[in-house]
Structures are given as C-alpha cells and as structure tokens.
C-alpha cells in the first residue's frame, strides 16, 4: 500500500539556525518558512535528490509538537511520511487493522490529503501518510 518516502520531519528548537546550518554546512536547497495554522506548525522543506526533509517549528498555543520539543529540547526526528495512492482506502484498512488514526484527514503542506498514525502503534515512530 505505501509507496515512496515523501519526507522525514525534524522538529527544531531554532528554525533560522537550522535553515542556516543546512544551507551553509550541508549545502542544501532550503525553502522558505510556510505557516500551517491547521497543523499548528511552521514548516520549511529541504529538497534532496531522492526525498525531502521537513523542519517543524511550533505555531500557536496548541502545537502538536510542543510536547515533543519539551521532551527533546535539542530537537529530533519527529515523523516519516509515506506516499499512498488513496488515503481513504489507506485509512479504512488501518482502522480495520486496529491502528489509531490521529484526528481526521487534513490538507497537508503540499496541498494534498494527509493523516497521522499513532507512534505507539508503529514501533515508536509517528507515521504520516500523504495521498499523491
Ligand atoms: C504540515 C504537515 C505535512 O507534512 O503536510 C505535518 O507534517 S504537521 C506535523 C505535526 N502534526 C502532527 O504531529 C499531528 C499528529 N500528532 C499528534 O497527534 C500528537 O503529536 C501525538 C503523536 C498524539 C503526540 O501528542 P503528545 O505529544 O501531546 O502526546 P503525549 O505526550 O501524550 O505522547 C504520547 C507518547 O507518544 C510519544 N510521542 C509523542 N510524539 C512522538 C513522536 N513524534 N514520535 C515518537 N513518539 C512520540 C511520547 O513520548 C509519549 O510516549 P511515552 O508515553 O512513552 O512518554
Ligand atoms: Co509532515
């Protein structure tokens, strides 16, 4: 059911510093910050030849990454995002398998439908699915 790796997300405590480091020391193609109020985060995408890195920084009072950054003040890998062809088919299959789908299907940072799966159901790794 899952296809390509769309992105790996890293929660960062200092977005400007993280962008400067990836642009400078790593010589990466770093995009512009993009506020995602529906998701409670500001994101920056870094284009790599074979995938993307997504920096996450909290936005607003109820950011879903606030707790993660409290526990990991230096930042850390927050989720991985796999591509799927049909997100409703994927959601129904996962619910039937007993996985916890977190909230509803929403429109993600690429203007495509996304959903999240509880990290405790997936080997301690928060999983995002994106319909492409
Ligand atoms: C824009 C969009 C896009 O790409 O298009 C995005 O990516 S938006 C990206 C941001 N949006 C999301 O993450 C939406 C889905 N996330 C959520 O609903 C939440 O963040 C949860 C995953 C439910 C975690 O919420 P919260 O931190 O409040 O819960 P909690 O502190 O009770 O955590 C429950 C347990 O899960 C662990 N836990 C929390 N976040 C985790 C993570 N990212 N990876 C692995 N484990 C994690 C905690 O350490 C804790 O374990 P222990 O009990 O063992 O201590
Ligand atoms: Co993401």
What's the structural domain count of the chain? 1
Range of the domain at 46: 5-131
pLDDT, mean of residues 62-73: 98
Residue 68 near ligand 1, beta carbon < 6 Å: yes
* Ligand 1 nearest atom to the CA of residue 79, by list position: 43
Q: pTM to 2 decimals?
A: 0.98
Which tens digits make up the pLDDT trace of 1-49? 999 999 999 999 999 999 999 999 999 999 999 999 999 999 999 999 9
Residue 36 near ligand 1, beta carbon < 6 Å: yes
pLDDT at 11: 98
User: Tell me, what's the ipTM?
Assistant: 0.98
Q: DSSP states of 14-81 as a string? A: -HHHHHHHHHHTS--EE---EEETTTTEEEEEEE-SS-EEEEEEE-STT-TTHHHHHH-TT-EEEEEE
Structure tokens at 13: 């405590």
**CATH code of the domain containing 35:** 3.10.180.10
């Amino acid at each position: 059911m899952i296809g390509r790796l769309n992105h790996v997300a890293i929660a960062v405590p200092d977005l400007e510093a993280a962008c400067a480091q990836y642009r400078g020391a790593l010589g990466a193609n770093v995009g512009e910050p993009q506020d995602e109020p529906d998701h409670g985060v500001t994101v920056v995408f870094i284009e790599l030849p074979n995938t993307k890195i997504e920096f996450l920084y909290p936005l607003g009072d109820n950011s879903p990454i606030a707790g993660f950054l409290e526990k990991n003040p230096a930042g850390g890998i927050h989720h991985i995002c796999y591509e799927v062809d049909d997100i409703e088919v994927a959601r129904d299959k996962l619910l039937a398998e007993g996985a916890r789908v977190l909230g509803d299907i929403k429109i993600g940072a690429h203007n495509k439908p996304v959903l999240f799966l509880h990290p405790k159901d997936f080997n301690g790794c928060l999983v995002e699915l994106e319909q492409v």
